[in-house]
Structure 1
């Protein structure tokens, strides 16, 4: 830190110039990043669903498994000659769209209904590339649908597109739009709060500059990641949340400290150096804890989730670096001008001295510490109770709000009774290397019959489909022509060497994540009774495996973060009890946030006023781990702000109880101001169209409100009062082994350490 303090004090212009150059170089790649992100939930290389997909491609020659479902609303209806002509023209034009490999128009009702009874709704299936060119082909399909609507005339034809690719592309588009709107909505409100805190325009602008600077450079880094791996759409939300939230948080602390130091002797460069040595230490240490928490996202064996962790770590490290270099360099150059122009004079927020009101509040809390601890803990536990019923999974289209095309179109598909086309289970039966012969037909036919008899099954695509089954014309890619359909059935049902058999089970409706397990259990029980070795794949299995991989990694991630945080806090505060207390109280905050999000998103409580659909059914599978990482990391900001001040007062020789009161009096103002800013940033995400983003914003907003008020200003001071001198106990042998680290906001004015701080009796 001394090197950085000398650097920004002696060479502020070169430091600022380097950051300006870096920002200019980052601007273009940062602008490209959002479109390079992906909403694909990913796949696991060794997972059963991945093996099934590989077998279908290599052994069955299946290449066109990506489908776009187009729901056409016709007036007059399809049952009239005019309506039929309009629909036929639309289908013929769709066949000419580049990238579309096959079009299967709706016909009479069959195994999978494709036309509503009144003929106003018809379902058309367009097969598109599975990976390369899928997004581009879908964009051309949507452009054609818009053109067909205009050519048909007002009110005669309405086309909506859904399907796995459409849902993923809508996630990407709306996640990007949500993030941009959140930034634009949060920045002016954040600026207003900063103006109330600082009263001066220049001081107000500096935290915003640092936040935008760190986001720009971090997004350029995210774009670099997209060149080597698939990066999650939510990585942009993580970068924005951390860049604005933590960046403004750190800048608020640094600017406030600089103004305090500048008032001592008026020397701006010396004040900037002291700011780095004092507040900069807390920023560096706090950022390190956030980075460790975000690194928990790197543990699951899924590139999609790891990219969010890498993006989060990158955003935090760049935010810290900008806060301890670019910001103090700017402050050194500005000097007294940081207080210009003075627009507001509000002593309650802009006074650097201890707050009398918060000091008095702390004395009341510490006067009845047991009552404060018990009531606060009970309140947090009550909020956490709904999390016991949390269900996670891939929400699919239901993870978007009403009004998004792929979601609304899926609702139409569901009403037609064809929703199961997006929840198909692919089953591969193994003949142990023996070619399929006449003796296998009876067994194969029995398995298919047993599968068709299962509750919730619409149909099973197999060589034993009847003409009535084929009448619908869209059963997983089969045309209405019976000879062509039978030929295609033979090709799709037997591997090239006829040693593997394939059937496709289509449920009656689109399965939400919480409906997959019961259906799969019945399916596997039937297959196990058949005597055939089997593999089960398809979109529902892939989604469930993805969710379980994240869930299975959650305990390891939590324990890793707990252990690393414990060690860091033990190093910083020379204590065993303080890090243990911090972990428990942060866990209470995270649990309360889980409970509120579960109650709202999954339970529907207050969902409508927040614009959250009440049929989502599950939380996104990455949400618990993502919320834990961000919440646990950011809550350490306030923890370190407060504890470092308590330790400072102890080092000055104050008794533990008085040190707690004085620390709250000096930090409560900065903590509450920072919390208001972060609350605004997080709430801005609730107004989006992607439910996962709304859930993240809701959870973070609830957590920061609880953490900066109930936990940090009531629960923590009360606990520190109860623990007394044990707060700073560390065995002497351990104290001698640990390296010396200091994170106090101010350098001690009295030499040495107060009794009980250096270590225990050992």
Structure 2
């Protein structure tokens, strides 16, 4: 810390020049990052069963383009008239020429999956496009063609909307990016106004924003570089923005407040900046490390998609800490007393070197009845956390977007035609264990297909055993049967394939039961098998993440315990901090479950009441971010308690004095962070809205119920045991003094 203190106070221009160059070089790369992110629900699962099925379909069955775009057309006059059919045929001919489209399947009024309404007014067209990286460009080309076609006069009677798995994922990514930008622009003016009330001076108001924007721009550039190494989640951008703004403002509040205090004590601005880093900087460094440890927990799940969020979060926090300990004090060293100009308000909200009389009196009332202060908040937090026990996770698909988004709204028409199962197809590959398919195995193969067709909830099974009667009018006759036969056998005829289409689009909470029925049937078929498709991939992704949640929690708890034990030279305080932060996280997750999954108060908050599940990555993501940020206020408060205790105050008096000195800065920082997080609730992606809701609830609870009531009450009850550390451990731990 002494090195950073000397660097920032003695060479401020050099420090600012380095940060300025880093920001300038980062901006072009940061601007490219959002487009390189994705929302693939199975991202990073390279050896999953669903991935193996996709590879077999590509390599052994010659299915190069198993991805689809579903185009919903409304025609007036309808397709049953010559004019309507002619317009539709013109549309199909142009669609087949779109780059990336390998095949177009026209609407049919009959067959196992009718894709045309009897009156011809509503129809579905399926365009096959590449999987993986080629899917998004191909879909963009399809959408561009649709816009161009609809702009022509002759197509005025044909309206087209695009949906499908790729369209839903691309809309998820696009709207997540747009929502993040909108949240930033919405929050920044509000934050600036609040900071002006806190500091009372225009120059000081701008400093926290500078720190946040510096760290965000460099972190986003690093995130763009990460996209060349692994799939990077759309959530990573939101996490970087939240941490960069939220933590950056928290740390800047602490640093600027300490700098003003040092200026009043005398000495020049550079010396004051150096002392600020040496004192408050320690709290910032330890607070940042606790957040970084929590975010690093996301690197544990064996899913590159989730690891990218963890890496992005760690980058954002470390860069925010670095900017707070170098760029900010360098600015302060150069500004000196000008940090207080132009002075717009004589009375400020939080920036005072004196303890708040009101908060001091409040702390005395809490510590006078410590059992009441400990039990009531704990009970309230447990009640709020109770809904989390019923939490369900999965990939919400179209229901992860709000109504009004084309890919979600078009799904209603797909389901109206009875073809909703097209978005939830299961691919079954039967392995003959190296033997070739012969007529002798036909009966066994057909028996499996019939058993699958008989399962409840199955709309159709695409296999070589469909007949012209099954295909119905417009089903394609012999050509369609020939195509079904080709798709059902691998080139060497040692693998068999059938596609199971459910009655309707499966919601995330219904996939496991449907999959279990399929597996029960396949296990009794006598064939070795693999089961794939988008629903299986989504379930595997969910299990991969939720299965590692216990190890993530234990790792974060262990790392945080060691760090706090070193910082505060206590065994009880780290344990208390972990338990109370866990209560905060549990309460916030319970509220998110109640609103998003159960639909309670969902509509007033702009969340549809039919989502049904939380995105699979939300529990681990919310835990990491919430737990880390909750430690900010914990360290701010405890470092002051320790400082007062080391000065000779009794345990009870140290607690009261610490609350009196820190409550204003904690509440002002919490209000600002609440605004940052709440701004993310006004978007179109349910997962992002859920993150914003969870973090807003967590910071509100943590800065009020937990930090100002529960913690002081517990510290009072623990008494001298707060600072107990075994002698043998005390000799082995490094000695670090925490101040702010």
State the TM-score bracket (shorter-chain normalisation): over 0.9
Counterpart in 2 of 1:124?
125
Aligned position for 2:693: 698
Match of 1:537 among 532, 535, 548: 532
The 5 Å alignment of 1:596-615 reads 596-615=591-610
Mapped to 2, the partners of 1:548 and 1:709 lie a distance apart of 35
TM-aligned CA deviation for residue 451 of structure 1: 0.4
Number of the residue aligned with 2:163: 162
The correspondence of residues 32-431 of structure 1 with structure 2, limited to 5 A, is 32-41=32-41, 42-152=43-153, 156-431=157-432
Task: Measure the CA separation in 2 of the matches of 1:676 and 1:192.
Answer: 12
For residue 647 of structure 1, report the CA deviation from its aligned partner: 0.3
CA-to-aligned-CA distance 1:399-444 (integer Å, 9 cap, x gap):
0111111111112111211111111111111222211112111111
Could you tell me the TM-score, scaled by structure 1's length? 0.96
**SS of 2:403 mapped into structure 1:** coil
Which residue number corresponds to residue 586 of structure 1? 581
Measure the CA separation in 1 of the matches of 2:228 and 2:611.
Answer: 33
Give 1:489's match in structure 2, choosing from 471, 480, 484.
Answer: 484
- The 3-state SS of whatever aligns with 1:660 is helix
**Which deviations, in whole Å up to 9, do the C-alpha atoms of 1:581-616 show, x marking residues without a partner?**
000000000000111000100111111111111221
The answer to whether 1:662 aligns with 2:657 is: yes
Contact in 1 for aligned 2:39/2:233 (Cα 8 Å): yes
Which shows bigger deviation, 492-501 or 717-726? Answer: 492-501
- After TM superposition, list the pairs within 5 Å mapping 1:618-657 onto structure 2: 618-657=613-652
Aligned-partner Cα distance in 2 for 1:614–1:414: 19
Deviation at 1:75, TM superposition (A): 1.6
* Contact preservation (8 Å) 2:87, 2:155: no
Aligned mates of 2:263, 2:44 — CA distance in 1 = 55
Q: Distance in 1 between matches of 2:549 and 2:351?
A: 42
> Shift of the alpha carbon at 1:87?
1.5
CA distance in structure 2 between the partners assigned to 1:138 and 1:226 by the alignment: 21
| Alpha-carbon separation, structure 2, partners of 1:250 and 1:418 | 53
CA contact (8 A) 2:290 2:628 kept: yes
> How far apart are the structure 1 equivalents of 2:621 and 2:717?
33
Which position in structure 1 is the counterpart of 2:14? 14
Partner of 1:503: 498
| 1:79 Cα offset (Å) | 2.2
Is residue 556 of structure 2 the alignment partner of residue 561 of structure 1? yes
Offset of 1:467 from its aligned partner? 1.5
| 1:266 positional shift | 4.6
**What's the counterpart of residue 728 of structure 1?**
723
User: How far apart are 1:672 and its partner, in Å?
Assistant: 0.2
The structural deviation recorded for 1:155 is 5.5
Change (3 A) 1:269 1:85: same
Deviations 1:264-284 (A, max 9, x none): 105111110110011100000
Tell which deviates more after alignment, 122-131 or 427-436.
Answer: 427-436
Aligned-partner SS, 1:350? coil
What is the aligned-residue RMSD (CA, Å)?
A: 1.2
Structure 2: runs of 5+ lacking an equivalent: none
Measured after TM superposition, the shift of residue 153 of structure 1 is: 5.5
Q: Once the two structures are superposed, what CA deviation does each residue of 1:509-535 show, in whole Å capped at 9, x if it has no partner?
A: 111111100101111111112121111
Relative to structure 2, which stretch is displaced further, 602-611 or 46-55?
Answer: 46-55
Distance 1:340 1:154 in 2: 63
CA contact (8 A) 1:106 1:122 kept: yes
The equivalent residue for 1:749 is none
* 1:642-668 CA-partner distances (Å, limit 9, x unpaired): 000000000000000000000000000
Per-residue deviation at 1:149? 1.5
Counting matched residue pairs gives 739
Moved more, 11-20 or 481-490: 481-490
Asked if 1 retains the 8 angstrom alpha-carbon contact of 2:420 and 2:504, the reply is yes
Q: Secondary structure at the match of 1:231?
A: coil
Aligned to 1:753: none
Does structure 2 retain, via aligned residues, the 8 Å contact 1:113–1:472? no
Listed as ranges, the matches of 1:458-477 within 5 Å are 458-471=459-472
Q: 1:152 offset after TM fit, Å?
A: 4.4
Unpaired segments ≥5 residues, structure 1: 474-479, 746-762
Scaled by the length of structure 2, the TM-score of the pair is 0.98
3-state secondary structure, aligned to 2:342: coil
Q: Does 1:30 align with 2:33?
A: no
Conserved in 2, the CA contact under 8 Å of 1:72 and 1:160? Answer: yes
171-180 or 342-351: which moved more?
A: 342-351
In structure 2, the residue matched to 1:750 is: none
Kindly provide the CA deviation profile for residues 288-321 of structure 1, in whole angstroms up to 9, marking residues without a partner as x. 0100100111111111111111000000000000
Q: Is the 8 A contact 1:268 1:333 kept in 2?
A: yes
CA–CA distance in structure 1, aligned partners of residues 395 and 75 of structure 2: 32
Answer whether contact 1:112 1:472 (CA < 8 A) is retained.
no
The 3-state SS of whatever aligns with 1:349 is coil
Aligned mates of 1:318, 1:678 — CA distance in 2: 18
TM-fit CA distance, 1:353: 0.9
Most deviating of 485-494 and 448-457: 485-494
- State the SS of the aligned residue for 2:350: helix
Q: CA-to-partner distance for each residue in 1:681-723, whole Å, 9 max, x for gaps?
A: 0000000010000000000000000000000000000000000
Q: Is the 8 A contact 2:109 2:118 kept in 1?
A: no
C-alpha deviations, 1:349-393, integer Å up to 9, x for none? 333210000000000011101011110000000000111110001
SS of the residue aligned with 1:89? helix
* Poorly superposed stretches of 4+, deviation over 6 Å: none
Is 2:708 the partner of 1:713?
yes
Q: How far apart are residue 259 of structure 1 and its match?
A: 0.7
Aligned residues of 2:34 and 2:177 also touching (Cα < 8 A)? yes
- Shift in CA distance, 519/468, structure 1 to aligned 2, threshold 3 Å: same
Question: Quick one: distance in 2 between partners of 1:495 and 1:178?
Answer: 45
User: Could you report, residue by residue, the CA deviation over 1:32-78 in whole angstroms, capped at 9, with x for unpaired residues?
Assistant: 11111111121522221122112212221111201000000112222
CA contact (8 A) 1:86 1:152 kept: no
- Alignment partners' CA distance in 1, 2:60 and 2:134: 23
Specify which of 565, 570, 573 is matched with residue 570 of structure 1: 565
Give the Cα separation in 2 of the matches to 1:137 and 1:44: 23
**1:737 aligned residue (723, 727, 732):** 732
Q: Conserved in 2, the CA contact under 8 Å of 1:106 and 1:472?
A: no
Q: Do the aligned partners of 2:45 and 2:304 also contact (CA within 8 Å) in 1?
A: no
Tell me, in whole angstroms, the C-alpha distance in 2 between the residues paired with 1:199 and 1:117. 69
Structure 2 distance, partners of 1:155, 1:389, is: 49
> Partners of 1:639 and 1:132 in 2: how far apart?
44
Distance 1:644 1:344 in 2: 29
Please tell me whether the aligned partners of residues 242 and 676 of structure 2 are also in contact (alpha carbons under 8 angstroms).
yes
**Which residue does 1:754 correspond to in 2?**
none
CA change 1:403–1:293 in 2 (3 A) is same
Indicate the larger mover: 426-435 or 287-296.
Answer: 426-435
Query: SS of the residue aligned with 2:500?
Result: strand
Q: Which residue of 2 aligns with 1:552?
A: 547
Q: Is the 8 A contact 1:111 1:472 kept in 2?
A: no
Aligned counterparts of 1:60 and 1:630: Cα–Cα separation in 2: 44
Are the counterparts in 2 of residues 114 and 472 from structure 1 also a CA contact under 8 Å? no
Corresponding position of 1:477: none
